[in-house]
Structure 1
Amino acid sequence: MLTVPIRQLGEPERATVERILDQDPYAGAQIAERVAAHGLNWWRSDGRIYGYGGRRIESLCWSGAHLVPVCATSPAVAAYADLLGAESRICSSIIGRADAVLELWDRLGGHWGPARDIRAHQPLLVADRDAPVAPDPAVRLVTLKEVDQLFPAAVAMYTEEVGVSPLLDDGGRGYKRRIAELVRGRRAYARFLGDRVIFKAELAIVTRRTTQVQGVWVDPEFRGRGLAAAAMATVVYDALRRVAPTVSLYVNDYNAAARRVYARCGFVPQGSFATVLF
């Protein structure tokens, strides 16, 4: 039995949800994008939003393909874990502010374990102005006719970053649809060398407060040549003018090369994320 107030939220609580998401627009970006697109009717967006608090909701937790806590204090985390631990795991990862994610996993691991990987410290970085690096004019938005050229690079990035291939479940059809959606939405960037993609990045999440960059990748043959900083400068330049007032991302703490690139591009720390992968 839950000993604290927690409940699933619906469309009548939309203003409350948006208020809390605005308190942490980076950790809440994934939820904010879904709420803007689908509202709070969970059956339309394959997930549910729970709120913690009495008369005034204090925090949120999105439960769907990912589990995402936002503004979750330790009592809120305990409440979410009590609720979710009674159910079978449906999420493929737990993502968010490190303190909340790691406490959630401490409480849920006995029910849902084991995890495939735990990334306990992923610096959250944000840029709100142009990079102090000249943009690379060869980096541009990918066109729909170039999806087939982009896809192998996207598969290579995903496999390297996540540790499993996106081709395993359905031969990659769902992942390719996602890549095509990003291209169609003018959210995929690349630098081509002939028909070969040697740099890529996507705006995986877009809200009115930020756009979150994911899928940053440089062809292994071209790493260490200084290509990434200028390429990311182009992404930041375009995203700030066309998409959102800030550009955000999170990076594995052990990826020293990527962290140097983002620092050169003017990204500044805004705390730490953690990710638990299943």
Structure 2
Amino acid sequence: MRAHLVEPSTRQILAYCADDPVERVFLADVARRESGRFVALENGDGALHALCHLGTNVVPSGSGCGAFAEVAARVSPRMLIGEQGAVTELWDAARRRLPRAREDRLSQPVYLSTTPPEPGGTGLRVATRADLDVLVPACARAHFEELGVDPLRRDPSGFRWRTRAQIEEGRSWLWLEDGALRFKAEASAWTPEAVQLQQVWVDPPVRRRGYAARALRDLIRLLLDEVPAVCLFVRAENAPAIHLYETVGMEHVLDYRSVLF
């Protein structure tokens, strides 16, 4: 029977995401929080073969994602992001309905770790609310380096609120020593099957001293005590970051694509 568009149930979403918990970690996290809007392609037996989160970031997954073009365009996204084949199908179908892309990031490698690396021996710890004034500007700089947008100019109060929320949810870690952030990172998604990291960042004055590799090893070890997989993705041209992830033993397992507006 031909697949058709549906608004999927949380049960359907989680069953779909369970088939690939690393590629679909963000989708599963949003569904578990019951905080997002989804559309899906449903087979005749009630199973999904494609899924799409609709929001500021439109995140497709699966095959036949061109079917989401019209509804994705209606939400005026700032980004299409996800597994490269799914994003390509959606972008090819929706590009006439969406603004001209300001950047198209192809072949962004997704890295995975399932085995604890050697300890890094750092002062890495979970961030607390007392760290907020240190983390807000650091997270803003990391955001600007990654996306070319200064969130403290676009939405300062909202960005501060989101940074605080990450801290309060236990999704933010840092290594602060001698007044410098030797390392910081956040979790962009967290499920029982995987944690996806984002904004791995070191203060520019203390870069290239090996702090990031040591702290990332400690963070991966910490997280693998709670979930079976730690993953992240990176721009294809970011050679220093790719070297870092491979140095700590992460494996390139698939590719994402990001279309930014």
CA-atom RMSD, angstroms?
1.8
Q: Deviation per CA, 1:111-155: give whole Å up to 9, x if none.
A: 1021121111110111011124x3132222222111111111111
The question of whether the paired residues in 2 share the 8 Å contact of 1:124 and 1:273 is answered with yes
The question of whether the paired residues in 1 share the 8 Å contact of 2:40 and 2:51 is answered with yes
Aligned partner of residue 167 in structure 1, secondary structure: helix
Aligned partner of residue 186 in structure 1, secondary structure: coil
The question of whether the paired residues in 2 share the 8 Å contact of 1:123 and 1:270 is answered with yes
Which whole-Å CA distance do the structure 2 matches of 1:109 and 1:97 have between them?
17
- Selected match of 1:107 from 76, 88, 93: 93
Matched, 1:177 2:161: yes
Which whole-Å CA distance do the structure 2 matches of 1:26 and 1:195 have between them?
35
Runs of 4+ in 1 over 3 A off after TM superposition: none
Matched, 1:258 2:254: no
With over 3 angstroms needed to count, the CA separation of the structure-2 counterparts of 1:156 and 1:256, relative to structure 1, is same
Which whole-Å CA distance do the structure 1 matches of 2:141 and 2:182 have between them?
11
Give the equivalent residue in structure 1 for 2:21: 25
What's the CA shift for 1:27?
A: 2.4
The question of whether the paired residues in 1 share the 8 Å contact of 2:123 and 2:175 is answered with yes
Matched, 1:238 2:238: no
- Selected match of 2:66 from 78, 90, 103: 78
Which whole-Å CA distance do the structure 2 matches of 1:78 and 1:215 have between them?
30
Which whole-Å CA distance do the structure 2 matches of 1:193 and 1:108 have between them?
47
The question of whether the paired residues in 1 share the 8 Å contact of 2:124 and 2:175 is answered with yes
- Selected match of 2:183 from 199, 203, 224: 199
Aligned partner of residue 26 in structure 1, secondary structure: coil
Matched, 1:54 2:44: yes
- Alignment TM-score, normalising by the size of structure 1: 0.87
- Alignment TM-score, normalising by the size of structure 2: 0.92
Aligned ranges 1:133-148 → 2 under 5 Å? 134-148=119-133
- AA paired with 1:119? R
Matched, 1:248 2:236: no
Matched, 1:226 2:210: yes
- AA paired with 1:79? A
Which whole-Å CA distance do the structure 1 matches of 2:36 and 2:230 have between them?
26
- AA paired with 2:26? Q
Which moved further from structure 2: 100-109 or 51-60?
51-60
Give the equivalent residue in structure 2 for 1:276: 259
Structure 1 unmatched ranges of 5 or more = 39-44
Aligned partner of residue 153 in structure 2, secondary structure: coil
The question of whether the paired residues in 2 share the 8 Å contact of 1:131 and 1:264 is answered with no
Aligned ranges 1:82-101 → 2 under 5 Å? 83-84=70-71, 87-101=73-87
Which whole-Å CA distance do the structure 1 matches of 2:36 and 2:206 have between them?
39
Matched, 1:15 2:11: yes
Which whole-Å CA distance do the structure 2 matches of 1:84 and 1:93 have between them?
14
Which whole-Å CA distance do the structure 2 matches of 1:222 and 1:102 have between them?
38
The percent of aligned pairs where both chains have the same amino acid is: 28
The question of whether the paired residues in 2 share the 8 Å contact of 1:187 and 1:202 is answered with yes
Which whole-Å CA distance do the structure 2 matches of 1:46 and 1:263 have between them?
33
Give the equivalent residue in structure 2 for 1:156: 141
The question of whether the paired residues in 1 share the 8 Å contact of 2:180 and 2:206 is answered with no
Which whole-Å CA distance do the structure 2 matches of 1:198 and 1:257 have between them?
16
The question of whether the paired residues in 2 share the 8 Å contact of 1:89 and 1:112 is answered with no
Give the equivalent residue in structure 1 for 2:56: 65
What's the CA shift for 1:55?
A: 3.2
Structure 2 unmatched ranges of 5 or more = none
Which whole-Å CA distance do the structure 1 matches of 2:75 and 2:81 have between them?
14
- AA paired with 2:82? G
Give the equivalent residue in structure 2 for 1:41: none
- AA paired with 2:162? R
Matched, 1:168 2:153: yes
Which moved further from structure 2: 153-162 or 20-29?
20-29
